[in-house]
A and B are shown apart, each in its own frame.
Chain A
């Protein structure tokens, strides 16, 4: 069940209505049933994995309640499962939906109990509800289990309008940017033999925004859906392509993962407390682990190592670029180079594409556009893509400057606010229809 599907919309509305009708003490059990229905809609086998991880987290949480293992145990707890997940993923065997995400939640929870940061959850049902929380299980954010648990019995009053607008914006990002851009990118990356290096470069740049819109879109929908249920979850993105360095990038991109890696791998490894050389090694290891977590392929490891290397260079560099725009552009270029490996089907495809650079094929913009034409996109698709992209860039720039867009929106007259919502809803519908025959489905990060 995808978050952008009509089936999910019906499911969510029914579930939301039910949570509003039933007494407060039963609400979380409605959520439990909703989580089970959502998760099992992808097949029953994954449920066995989820139950197993929940049972292990519950048991280990209670076991470690008053035990304080050393940093080596914490390191192993963070690293070993991810390495094992990577090895398992590489076998090509069945990989359950959201496995990577709920595993990190479970590991984080056990580590927090081990370090005394939180008490173990006493009711298995509560732990299971948190671990299987449907807005976040597929693609995060990676929440702290205990943070969700604390809100189950005392949900906050939700800002309905804000949550609703975030869901709309998330849908627009996913449908009008990610789905359409994905057609272009897919055409080039999946058939790179018949494309020039210029088209590959252009597709890599477009991919940066496809991935951002897809992931940010999902996170916004998740935030809105959780918010309407009275559960506050983390915002996962903060205008990442306006970062002024790779370290800054990781404070803005997939923030929940960055925090998880910092808390459960980097810090247990010693962080920056064991000298400069050790710090750089810890950074490299942390990002290598991040690469392994992202997918079953050594191209992901290369992606992770690249980010580790970037950070080491930044850490060790004595020179700083004064011009802010240049810093932003260079950061984007570095990040996008890494995305090239991230998007490639595998390492050998990435190498194959790299060999096409400087191959001497035509690099005129017209010929690149002609190459993109084989993706099946037409001017209608491009119109939706560019319009949504423009809104994304403008709102990101505004938010980066501290402009409170939501508050601006609330100050508008009701007629204008409603008209804006209706326009966005119709935009989503029309953009969906325009790609309906194309086969783009699922969230990119849902495959991790």
Chain B
């Protein structure tokens, strides 16, 4: 009886010991996780975990959000994608009437809408909005590998979640889960290199190889939806909105893409809202491009690009630039 009692006490001690071990481990893990979010150990944790600490996506978009919100005397806004970024690089401060802030196609036209809205809110005298992009940007949709960093983080953290309509929010929730779209959670993941790496890695694994992705339509439903919203917003504010194409690589696939875009524009009524867009397609020899989309380094200079800018937005440079 005594031996059995001793055995039971000893077994209980072992079990309590294991529970204590697990609880302490859980505590240490939580503390470590929190230290990766806030505090003096943050950069050290990034270092030992080989996380570069950069908040890519968010760091590209958040400054642009601030930039469009700054009140100044500009009356025209130029937005766009990464090709527009290349196009206008170095032109930023040439004309005091223009605020130039192209970003990345990853924000989709939902993100462009928010930027337009924010600009118009802070610029009651605005007259024109230009959205400059290459034809492939119209296909931009919620992308599991990009939209968390380029849409959810910058826009929801900064309080623009309500500007993401049910179509976009529905897609975001289906991709990432409602919990991970809460502003506090987004902020936690954004600030913590550790959690960013863990979460984005999990999303990447869950969504499989990007090469296996199905073909997307030339104009996504998000683009159609938000192009209409942008037009309505600008109309309400008495602002002219212009869709302008960047110079396009002259390859058969790009030309057939543009033909398809013309068709969809006609089918969806976008041609009535943006009658000049399809006429703005300009094809240039493929040697000008490094990946059939972006300009090659040797062509990314003012001498080469200014003539195109003058054609697209005559008032930006004037006749002598």
CB within 8 Å of B: which residues of A? 160, 378, 380-381, 414, 418, 421-422, 425-426, 429-430, 433-437
Contact = CB atoms under 8 A, between A and B. Distances in A.
A430 B201 contact: no
A436 B194 CA distance: 11
Contacts of A422: 24-25, 28
Closest 9 CB pairs of A and B: A434-B50, A433-B49, A380-B50, A430-B49, A436-B201, A430-B48, A436-B197, A434-B49, A433-B197
Contacts of B25: 422, 425
Contacts of A435: 50
Chain B interface size band reads: 10 to 19
26 contacts: A160-B18, A378-B50, A380-B48, A380-B50, A381-B50, A418-B21, A418-B24, A422-B24, A422-B25, A422-B28, A425-B25, A426-B32, A429-B49, A430-B49, A433-B49, A433-B50, A433-B51, A433-B194, A433-B197, A433-B198, A434-B50, A435-B50, A436-B198, A436-B201, A437-B197, A437-B201
A372 B21 CA distance: 40
A436 B202 CA distance: 10
A12 B49 CA distance: 26
Contacts of A429: 49
Interface in B76-126: none
Interface in B32-91: 32, 47-51
Nearest to A7: B205
A437 B145 CA distance: 13
A258 B32 CA distance: 45
A121 B47 CA distance: 55
Interface of B: 17-18, 21, 24-25, 28, 32, 47-51, 194, 197-198, 201
A418 B198 CA distance: 26
Nearest to B21: A418
Contacts of B201: 436-437
Contacts of B18: 160
Contacts of A436: 197-198, 201
Nearest to A160: B18
B50 to A, nearest CB: 4
A437 B198 CA distance: 10
A31 B32 CA distance: 35
Contacts of B49: 429-430, 433-434
A198 to B, nearest CB: 27
Nearest to B18: A160
B290 to A, nearest CB: 22
B8 to A, nearest CB: 16
Contacts of B197: 433, 436-437
Contacts of B51: 433
B200 to A, nearest CB: 9
A146 B47 CA distance: 50
